[in-house]
Amino acid sequence: MTNSRLVVALIAALMVAADVLVAQRGVDPQPAGGPPRLGGPNGPPPAPVAPGRPVPTLSDGTVDLSGLWTDGGSAPLERLLKPGELKSLMQPWALTLYESRDESRDPYNNCMPGGPLRITGGFAWRLIQHPTVNSTHIFMLQEGNAHTYRQIFMDGRKHPEDPTPGWYGHSIGWWEGKTLVVDTIGLHDRFWLDSAGTPHTEQLHMVERWTRTDYNTLRRDVMIDDPGAFTRPFTVTYTARLAAPGNEIMEYFCIENNQYEIPTERPETRP
């Protein structure tokens, strides 16, 4: 084999190896719109600070939450509570499972959706109110990982009596003054609540309160109630930042050519 052919063969082999590594890790080495490590600072830069600029409202009196946002759900729960508080709230089986988990087994890092709490974490995301005035639906579009969406019903419907468990569950929303309240049930237990491996069960019930505290900032208070995994409900707070004008969500699929199954815990680790 000539030197030129040898070089071509070597490059081809390296390209194949890189593709295999990406499929194994479930993470694009240079994803569009964010760095390869999920959950860290990423996405487009924040919008310039706009002191005194009013929070935008719509003609129906509700707050305009639409726009491109970053973060708002990536921090591990333990960092948002007092030291040791999260572990003290866990049921014994949940604590054992939590302490046995490591990031390499996170279903989110294997191209699975991260659930409603983490859809805002890791990559930029867009919030859409439809129709813009007197919205019947609100959609959260995520650029990263499963390249997916979450829908929130704003038309006054109730939760189904026996919802089929899913990655994002069944969400209904309403306005309380200038705050959007979102109530979610019908979640299965195949995703982690955060990158640290906080477990939950299908009894999980989430109530989010979204408040645009100023033009650039979206506060998200989340009440987590899961009697199957925790001894009592608790609340954590996240902050999302408006992205700078001119930025947009971009495609980043980590599910293409991913030939690895969803990581699962052994049956004996479940209650």
- Segment 110-132, tens digit of pLDDT: 888 889 999 887 788 999 999 99
Contact 153, 175 (CB under 8 A): no
Q: List pLDDT tens digits, range 29-62.
A: 333 333 333 333 456 788 888 888 999 999 999 9
pLDDT of residue 270: 62
- Judge whether 243 lies within some domain: yes
Residue 247: Cβ within 10 Å count: 17
CB atoms within 10 A of CB 119: 24
- Number of domains making up the chain: 1
Better pLDDT: 239 or 2: 239
Q: pLDDT-based confidence at 260, cuts 50/70/90?
A: low
Give domain status of residue 38, yes or no: no
100 vs 27, 30, 71, 182, 203, CA distance in Å? Answer: 23, 30, 27, 32, 22
Would the pLDDT of 256 be above 70? no
CA distance 18 to 6: 18
Residues of the chain above pLDDT 90, percent: 60
Residue 238 lies inside a defined structural domain of this protein? yes
Q: What proportions of the chain, in percent to the nearest 5, are helix, strand and coil?
A: 20, 25, 55
Asked whether residue 131 is assigned to any structural domain, the reply reads yes
Q: Which domain holds residue 184?
A: 67-260
Residue 267 in any domain: the answer is no
Mean pLDDT computed over 84-102: 97
181 occurs within a structural domain:
yes
The pTM score is 0.80
Residue 194 located in a structural domain: yes
Structural domain contains residue 91: yes
